[in-house]
Copies of this chain bind each other. A is one copy, B any other.
Amino acid sequence: VDEDPGLAMTRILDPADVAARFRDEIRLQVEAADAPLRLVGVLAGDHGPSRTYASYAERACADLGVAFELRHVERLLAEHAIREANADPDVHGIIVYYPVFGSGHDVYLRELVDPAKDVEGMHSTWARALYENRRFIDAAGTRKAILPCTPLAVLKLVEAAGSFRPSGPPLAGRTVTLFKRSEVVGRPLASMMANDGAHVYSFDVDGPMLFDPPAESDAAHGVRETAVTRAQALAESDIVVTGVPSRQFPLVHGAELRPGALCINFSTFRNFADDIDGTAACFIPRVGPMTVLMVVRNALRLRQNAR
């Protein structure tokens, strides 16, 4: 049997290649500053993946000319390490590697980080700005709000994959399906994509929600409960983003996709089946290399804001 000639192979977009393009731009901005940009990482305990993330950040910062100091402390000293970095005028950004306690105590630490040094954009101050679609934190519109680094990395990859409109809201008319609605990535990403014009189906264990684009240009996106099924949502979607940290998640198969869809997985687990090849137009298997760059981008922005 001959292979179907219409069946093109799916392009695999390596986030490291996209990151390389951003890196030069960010390096120039770092070099243009009159003082070195200094980040502090707070690593508590022995959680393996956190060590790995920290070493990525270390390497990426070295490459960008950013000073990165990793402070490895016992979990009960993480609070002190954060307070110290908050108070140090020579520290421009703080990255806390979670889990520290693996409980609500971690939220206390997250809120303890000075929002003006929160390069990951995780503080509730930034979450509120995002959900209200406030792009600036001052009335004059000179100090930009910070976006959470992983959702921001996903958006930059969507753009790099060629899915942005050339004018108007970049995701106008697009439909997105997003699996996993965490406060760290899924919910802010759904919100950002809806603010950028998309209809976003967001799935999680407590039921699907639909994020709608803003009704007026200055408003924030809407969100409502929906009865959509996974099959319906996937069949409609131009973009499918997964972040399910579980082997129990039923992999997304090619037969479920709208042909030509863009597929992105930001989980460290496999969420797409190999058979998406030939149906998806593009697959981005991970996001990490872009996330580190977004952290430094946020650090530059926060230092700019502080001036």
Determine, out of A106-114, A249-257, A282-290, the stretch whose residues face the partner at the interface. A106-114
Is A127 an interface position by the 8 A CB rule? Answer: yes
Q: Is the CB of B105 within 8 A of A187?
A: yes
Does A247 count as interface, using CB distance less than 8 angstroms?
Answer: no
Q: Which residues of B contact A103 (CB under 8 A)?
A: 181-183, 204, 206
Residue in contact with A102 in the complex, picked from B127, B206, B223, CB distance below 8 Å: B206
Complex CA gap A35/B80 in Å reads: 43
- A side interface size, CB within 8 A: 27
How distant is A126 from chain B, measured CB to nearest CB, in Å? Answer: 11
Min CB gap A83→B, angstroms: 9
Residues in chain B near residue A79, CB distance under 8 A: 131
Q: Of residues 89 to 120 in A, which have CB atoms within 8 Å of B's CB atoms?
A: 101-105, 107-108, 111-112
> Would you call A307 an interface residue if the criterion is a C-beta within 8 Å of the partner chain's C-beta atoms?
no
Can you list 19 A-B contacts with CB-CB less than 8 angstroms, sorted by A residue number? A74-B225, A76-B209, A76-B223, A76-B224, A101-B206, A102-B206, A103-B183, A103-B204, A103-B206, A104-B182, A105-B181, A105-B183, A108-B124, A108-B127, A108-B131, A108-B183, A111-B124, A112-B124, A112-B128
